[in-house]
């Protein structure tokens, strides 16, 4: 039995493939930003995590969009295969790369905090991606930013309120 439990938080990058007006990250930073792989290569990160095999490890990643980085898929696949990495590892994502996530690093240990950005995904596309990841038991929750743009388009494009949107996701057991 492992006595210690650690939560490791990572910001793989602040780069993002979206350019939301309501984001706290400066637009220039989203275009070009350092990554966690600039100084330490993916194999080094994998080896480093192996050194904590006597403890239970939970991982949380956020930033810009972690799945922009090709090495993140390799890293997560390897980390999630480690016995001491526990379930409930969270990653904030805009799920643009949902199909690639499902293909390259599927793991029920990962719980994705999926953000729905109406400027970049139709509701149908968002639901398709969330359902695909949910089938793999990888969805922690879906966030909807109640910005002026999102509320306006939710009403205009779908004739829905935020409460209606909550019901849609509730029907597929995602909150």
Tens of pLDDT, residue by residue, the chain (175 residues): 567 999 999 999 999 999 888 888 888 888 888 999 999 999 999 999 999 999 999 999 999 999 999 999 999 999 999 999 999 999 999 999 999 999 999 999 999 999 999 999 899 999 999 999 999 999 999 999 888 999 999 999 999 999 999 999 999 999 8
pLDDT of residue 157: 95
The 3-state DSSP composition of the chain as helix, strand, coil percent (nearest 5) reads 40, 20, 40
pLDDT of residue 145: 85
Sign for the pseudo-dihedral over CA of 64, 36, 103, 112: negative
pLDDT of residue 2: 63
User: What is the reported pTM?
Assistant: 0.93
pLDDT of residue 32: 87
- CATH class for the region spanning 4-145: alpha beta
**What is the SS3 string spanning 6-34?**
EEEEECCECCCCCCCCCCCCCHHHHHCCC
DSSP class of 86: P
Domain ranges for the chain, please list them.
4-145
pLDDT of residue 1: 58
Round to whole Å and give the CA distance between 24 and 154. 22
């Amino acid at each position: 039995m492992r006595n210690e439990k650690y939560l490791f938080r990572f910001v793989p990058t602040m780069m993002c493939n979206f350019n939301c007006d309501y984001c706290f990250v400066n637009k220039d930073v989203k275009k070009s930003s350092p990554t966690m792989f600039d100084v330490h290569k993916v194999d080094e990160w994998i080896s480093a995590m192996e050194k904590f095999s006597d403890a239970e490890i939970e991982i949380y990643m956020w930033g810009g969009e972690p799945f922009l980085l090709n090495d993140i898929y390799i890293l997560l696949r390897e980390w999630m295969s480690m016995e001491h990495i526990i379930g409930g590892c969270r990653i904030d994502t805009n799920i643009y790369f949902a199909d690639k996530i499902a293909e390259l690093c599927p793991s029920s240990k990962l719980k994705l905090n999926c953000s729905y950005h109406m400027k970049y995904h139709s509701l149908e596309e968002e639901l398709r991606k969330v359902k695909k990841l949910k089938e793999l038991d990888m969805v922690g929750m879906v966030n909807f930013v109640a910005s002026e743009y999102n509320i306006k388009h939710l009403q205009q494009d779908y004739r829905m309120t935020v409460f209606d949107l909550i019901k849609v996701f509730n029907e597929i057991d995602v909150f």
